[in-house]
Structure 1
Amino acid sequence: MQKAVRRVLRVGLRWGLAWAFACAAQAHTVVVVTSDANAGGVETADIVVAELLRLGLHAEDIGRTRAADIPRIVTAKTDTRVYLTLGVESLREVLKANVREPVVAALIPRTALERTVGEFGKRSGAALSALYLDQPLGRQLDLLRLALPDAKRVGLVLGPESLAQQASTVAAIRARGMEPVVGIAVTAENIFAGLKPALEDSQVLLAVPDSLVFNNGTVSSILTATYRARIPLIAFSPAYVRAGALLCVYSTPQQIGAQAAAMVQAQLRGSNSVPSQYPLEFNVRVNDSVARSLGLSLREDQLSEQLRRMERKP
């Protein structure tokens, strides 16, 4: 008898939680979607929620959920008006669920966004706007020139994802009076064959985001190779700078969160098309030990301000 009562209570609790979830979901104007695969997503979600509250939304208007729960939310036919996805997995699950509401995708590199949309985007009729995780190429090249004004030959290693941008990347480098030295790596086996010419004939190596070339399994070996060649690496992540790259330009979770919240607000105000965009605010991170070993004296605050002044010029 007691087992039967406990079983009824458990079933009742599950139904009660599901009903409460559905009711709560219907009240959420904005749903922020995070995933276990993106460690920075939770921190950024906290910032986005705080910023949306500051912009005038009420706490009951904002829902938070994990990517794995998206199918249940969509099935519940909620009153959600905008989905904000943080990371690749979150965007993938939202597009797979065939949502019709606008989607703002943040914490996602441009190449990963294009790959995900190509794979799942046709299944969804949602209007999609992205806040790219990576910095604009022009900003990275301007930082390179500020930090290393004598560098004229810029090494690159391009993989399957970044090869599509080869022409525009080469043009941007040449427009700044430098010459690109391009190595190609189309498989994991020839990454270092592609790295060799980029190091032998260049004065600096620019890391271009590509999941085959730059990942947790390759970055240590790439950094070791640049150190031995005394070729500084301009990275796209503070983690790479901590590991041994010379410097990078990056945006903090606070900066990304504030910009993502502004994009969500624009959607809620009825903007027909919120354009995809790169981070507006940024900082520079320098590895002082690497800089000293190369005979360089670089200040993060000075480089950041110089970059901002360059971008403010008409």
Structure 2
Amino acid sequence: MAQCPPRLTPGMSHLLAMLCLVISGWLGSLSANAADILLTGAEDSAGAQSFVEALRELRPADSVRFQPLADLPAPGKLPADIRLILLDLPSLDWRLQDSHGPATLVLRISRLQARQHLGDAQPPRLSLLWSDPPLDRQLRLTRLLLPQVKRIGVLYDNHSEFLLKELRQAARPLGLEVVSERWDNTQDSRPLQALLDKSDVLLGLDDPDLYNSKTAKNLLLSSYSRQLALIGPNAGFVKAGSLASSYSDQGDWLAILDGLLDQPTATWPRTYYPPRFKVSSNPQVARSLGIEQINEASVATLLAEGERRP
């Protein structure tokens, strides 16, 4: 004869009911607190999808999705509570067409790109996350690797000239002098040679008109023929032959985004240099300049310890 399941006591029934209410409330709270995170760019590339998937894994409680720029309405027609992340310059131009719209993070934009697209303006509800390493960090990297140098040589053109004032202000407390030469025509080596004559080291600004695949050979051969190092302008140029640079990789950017997305959008900074970064160096170049092997992790730690950013 089959046995009937034991009856629940009134106390046990009450406990189970309360547990159901607690679980339902917890699930409802998770749903209510979940953020709607929309990433967009002109192209639905493999790189964009990989980045979105990595962010989705970091934030499983949120709705994280990519939508191509062509499929989006005007920014002002998006829900106000969406957290919008722009992945490229076309998406920035699209966002700038409308002063209304949700709070927006502009990911990995250089100072020069912002200048070209925004001028001196800082549109509301936009947070610019800089891709190029901060100038003071690059100067301190130079001091750590080459403590004997005093004169920092800098090439600039009409796009990057606005950075010189900031660079000189950052150099002064470090006891460094910035010497510069305007280089509007990269086919003419005279400004480069003149700068090498009066510099102890070259510091590259992240200006693609000056530092690119066409100018790399001249820049590097000219500087190393004088036994002068080139710092920066980015990790890509370190592979080409510059001595070292600080940079932030995808893991750093994901961690930075994760932290910002935990904050209310009203507290997002207007401009932001990533506090997480690494140092890349070129061992072959270091050896040719008589520099001891660079411990990239230790140098990055020293740089980070010296920074006090809000």
> Per-residue CA shift, 1:281-306, capped at 9, x if unaligned?
11111100000011111221221122
| 1:220 Cα offset (Å) | 3.3
2:181 counterpart SS class: strand
The aligned runs of 1:50-199 (5 Å cut-off) are 50-53=57-60, 56-57=61-62, 61-69=63-71, 72-74=72-74, 77-79=77-79, 81-96=82-97, 100-118=101-119, 127-190=125-188, 192-199=189-196
| 1:171 Cα offset (Å) | 2.5
Q: Structure 1 pair 221/37, CA: closer, same or farther in 2 (3 Å)?
A: farther
| 1:146 Cα offset (Å) | 0.4
TM-score (norm 2): 0.78
Contact residue 160 and residue 212 of structure 1 kept, 8 A: no
Instruction: Name which of structure 1's ranges 141-150 and 167-176 shifts more when overlaid on structure 2.
Output: 167-176
Q: In the alignment, which residue of structure 1 is the partner of 2:301?
A: 305
Contact residue 55 and residue 64 of structure 2 kept, 8 A: no
| 1:274 Cα offset (Å) | 3.2
Instruction: Name which of structure 1's ranges 234-243 and 303-312 shifts more when overlaid on structure 2.
Output: 303-312
| 1:32 Cα offset (Å) | 0.5
1:63 counterpart SS class: strand
Instruction: Name which of structure 1's ranges 165-174 and 90-99 shifts more when overlaid on structure 2.
Output: 90-99
Contact residue 38 and residue 87 of structure 1 kept, 8 A: no
2:67 counterpart SS class: strand
Q: Structure 1 pair 194/49, CA: closer, same or farther in 2 (3 Å)?
A: farther
Largest Rg, 1 or 2: 2
Q: In the alignment, which residue of structure 2 is the partner of 1:283?
A: 278
Higher helix share: 1
Q: In the alignment, which residue of structure 2 is the partner of 1:10?
A: none
Q: In the alignment, which residue of structure 2 is the partner of 1:19?
A: none
Q: Which amino acid aligns with 1:90?
A: S
2:102 counterpart SS class: coil
Q: In the alignment, which residue of structure 1 is the partner of 2:55?
A: 48
Q: Structure 1 pair 76/144, CA: closer, same or farther in 2 (3 Å)?
A: closer
Q: In the alignment, which residue of structure 2 is the partner of 1:263?
A: 260
2:79 counterpart SS class: coil
Matches of 1:223 and 1:51 in 2, distance apart? 40
| 1:162 Cα offset (Å) | 1.7
Q: Which amino acid aligns with 1:91?
A: L
Q: Structure 1 pair 313/163, CA: closer, same or farther in 2 (3 Å)?
A: closer
Structure 2, unaligned runs of 5 or more = 1-33
1:84 counterpart SS class: strand
Matches of 1:313 and 1:160 in 2, distance apart? 29
Q: Structure 1 pair 313/30, CA: closer, same or farther in 2 (3 Å)?
A: closer
Q: Which amino acid aligns with 1:181?
A: V
Correspondent of 1:211 among 203, 208, 212: 208
Matches of 1:241 and 1:232 in 2, distance apart? 11
Contact residue 37 and residue 89 of structure 1 kept, 8 A: no
Q: Which amino acid aligns with 1:185?
A: W
| 1:224 Cα offset (Å) | 2.5
TM-score (norm 1): 0.77
Q: Which amino acid aligns with 2:273?
A: Y
CA RMSD of aligned residues (A): 3.0
Q: Identical aligned pairs, as a percentage? A: 26
Q: How many residues align?
A: 275
Q: In the alignment, which residue of structure 2 is the partner of 1:202?
A: 199
Structure 1, unaligned runs of 5 or more = 1-26
